[in-house]
Amino acid sequence: MRNTGHSHAGLRRRVRADAVAESQVCSGRSTRRALLFALGAGALVFPLFPLAQGQKAKIPRVGVLSVGTSSRATTQIEALRAGLRELGYVEGRNISFEFRSAEGNYDRLPEMAADLVRLNVDLIVSSGTPVTQAVKAATKTIPIVMIGVGDPVGTGLVASLARPGGNVTGTSNLSPPLMVKRLELLKEAHPAVRRVAVLLNPANPAQKLSFEAMETAARSLKVEIQKFEVRNLAEIRSAFSAMAKQRFDGVAVAHDTILLANAGTIAELAAKQRIASSGNIEYAGAGGLIGYDSITDIYRYSATYVDKILKGAKPADLPVEQPSKFGVVVNMKTAKALGIKIPGSILVRADRVIK
């Protein structure tokens, strides 16, 4: 019996040992299966990681549309690029551009705006009122940064300056008050002025609002104003021929791309007829008597809007900004040629005097 007991005890020990051994074997199999599964899963996942690392991030594409001639558009675009470089943007690395210029032909703007929309650019920069209107008509979803728009509220581009709403924001050049100031300076510089011709482009809706503001100011200044609508150089020359017959003694030049592009010719025609004239700062530099304009580089500054929108801001939440610094330029060479003595009240305020 003792032998049998010993046999049973030995059997139990062997059974327990076998069970432990089997448990270890099963555990080992489970571990191997888990390891093989992990390795297999890793084979699916890990090869994708280097691919993801190697993939290039999408470079934002910015469309830029202007109506000006190539030379003027190039100057403006370079200012915008400079502003973006200051904010860390490098062309080809983290930003790219699609440039379009209507070369002074306002009729081409809708077609060019539609082209940028078809390219599905991330943002469109538009220069001036007619350009911004064309772009806004082409898209309600792509963000638009307008530059130097005369009266964005009056022309219906934004709901208000503080809360633009929609997909448009940017800068305004305050065209109506700007033109009123040019008329006031013209009268102050040459008090004998009685009849002032106003050169404006009918294709630019902001200029209708500017002329209406000037009419109110003209009454208090006791001057008569008359608008001359011009769309190109030929019409500018025709306008001066008409002025000569009607004996105008002053001309105020509106803020428009076509007029700015022909500033030198306008100043020359005014000088030939001995007409005192006012326009923007460039106009005074080209031979006009008085220049008045914002001295903020709005193209360079507009880069801040592009930056904010590309980083996720919505145009509807970015207030439209207006220039706060303005400058006066007096062309004393022109004043001398016209026999006009510029009063000290203007000279002391002048930021530049051309001698």
- At which residue do the structure tokens 């090869």 appear? 47
Q: Is 283 left (phi over 0), alpha (psi -120 to 50) or beta?
A: alpha
104-118 tens-digit pLDDT: 889 999 999 999 999
- Amino acid identity of 4? T
Q: Which residue has the higher pLDDT, 75 or 80?
A: 80
Asked if residue 18 and residue 68 are part of one domain, the reply reads no
Q: Which residue has the higher pLDDT, 42 or 240?
A: 240
Q: Which of 47-51, 98-102, 305-309 has the lowest mean pLDDT?
A: 47-51
Asked if residue 192 and residue 332 are part of one domain, the reply reads yes
Residue 72 banded pLDDT, cuts 50, 70, 90: confident
Residue 255 banded pLDDT, cuts 50, 70, 90: confident
Asked if residue 159 and residue 136 are part of one domain, the reply reads yes
Mean pLDDT of 238-254: 95
**Per-residue pLDDT at 319 exceeds 50:** yes
Predicted pLDDT of residue 76: 86
Q: Which residue has the higher pLDDT, 238 or 43?
A: 238
Report the C-alpha gap between 158 and 179 in whole angstroms: 21
Q: Which domain holds residue 43?
A: 2-54
Asked if residue 343 and residue 237 are part of one domain, the reply reads yes
Beta bridge partners of 276: 250
**Per-residue pLDDT at 307 exceeds 60:** yes
Beta bridge partners of 84: none
Q: How many CA atoms lie within 13 A of 1 on its CB side?
A: 0
Query: Whose CA is closest to 99, among 137, 134, 126, 129?
Result: 126
- Cβ proximity of 23 and 59 under 8 Å: no
Q: Which of 34, 54, 74 is the last residue of a domain?
A: 54
- Model-wide pTM > 0.85: no
**Per-residue pLDDT at 48 exceeds 90:** no
Predicted pLDDT of residue 51: 39
Predicted pLDDT of residue 75: 85
Predicted pLDDT of residue 104: 85
If one counts the domains in the chain, the total is: 3
Asked if residue 344 and residue 213 are part of one domain, the reply reads yes
Asked if residue 283 and residue 305 are part of one domain, the reply reads no
Domain CATH for 281: 3.40.50.2300
Asked if residue 273 and residue 243 are part of one domain, the reply reads yes
Report the C-alpha gap between 163 and 79 in whole angstroms: 27
State the Cα angle at 170 between 316 and 312, rounded to 5°.
50
Mean pLDDT, the chain, as a whole number? 86
Asked if residue 207 and residue 307 are part of one domain, the reply reads no
Asked if residue 258 and residue 164 are part of one domain, the reply reads no
Q: Which residue has the higher pLDDT, 26 or 194?
A: 194
Asked if residue 312 and residue 278 are part of one domain, the reply reads no
- E strand or H helix that includes residue 64: strand 61-66
Asked if residue 228 and residue 85 are part of one domain, the reply reads no
